[in-house]
Amino acid sequence: MLIKSAQFLTSAARPEQFPAPDLPEVAFAGRSNVGKSSLINTLVNRKKLVLTSSTPGKTRLINFFRVNDAFMFVDLPGYGYAKVPHVERRGWRPMIERYLTGRESLKAVVVILDVRRTPGPEEVQLLAWLEESDIPPVLVVTKADKLSKSARAKQLNLIAEAIGVDPEELLLFSSKTRHGWDALWKAILELTQPPPEDERA
């Protein structure tokens, strides 16, 4: 995958602020501080296209990026961060759900999990919800560089079990080492290719 361009388009909270749905779109979702924004930077080979921070709760709005004039990447705010005020945490769901339900150009959601952490009810809920909405998930386990190889293998099994999938379905990634870059692009390309004419609704 050759990255020719990546531009920030806009930040939005409400559907009327979303850019025109004129490109196949991929959104990136996951808990606060899991590494969503870093993962997008890594995917598009840029250091600072998307703002990242070691303080959870950096991304608070829905941010749209145009990649290669061929895709839209959407950085979603993180969920589940206990120190974000309760009112704001409650705001996350409606904002994200409005985006996820109403977005006709959305082709896939990259669900990002931390290799060191067993997924909880938020992740299970998000996945169940994507399934109900017929939005294919891409399951990415990031921060792979934070664990040794053997600890990683053990965690992958625990994570898979917690969300009820086969460990093979998990894509291991690291924004630090770029591990998984090719595999993730491949998954994204497969899900954003238009289906053959006769399969279109």
Interface residues with ligand GTP (CB under 6 A) are 30, 32-38, 52-54, 56-59, 77-78, 142-143, 145-146, 174-176
Amino acid at residue number 158: L
CB of 59 to Mg ion, least distance (A): 3
CA distance 112 to 114: 7
Determine contact, residues 59/75, Cβ cutoff 8 Å: yes
Smallest gap from Cβ 132 to Mg ion, in A, equals 25
Which of ligand GTP, Mg ion, none interacts with 35 (beta carbon under 5 to 8 A by kind)? Answer: ligand GTP
Using the rule CB under 5 A, give the single segment among 23-31, 54-62, 135-143, 185-193 that binds Mg ion: 54-62
Q: Kindly list the distances between the CA atom of residue 47 and the CA atoms of 70, 104, 130, 181, in Å, as whole numbers in the listed order.
A: 20, 30, 30, 15
Nearer to ligand GTP, 57 or 91 (CB): 57
> Residue with structure tokens 């238009």?
194
Q: Which is nearer to ligand GTP, 63 or 134 (CB)?
A: 63
- Number of other residues whose CB lies within 10 A of the CB of residue 109: 27
User: Does 41 help bind Mg ion (rule: CB under 5 A)?
Assistant: no
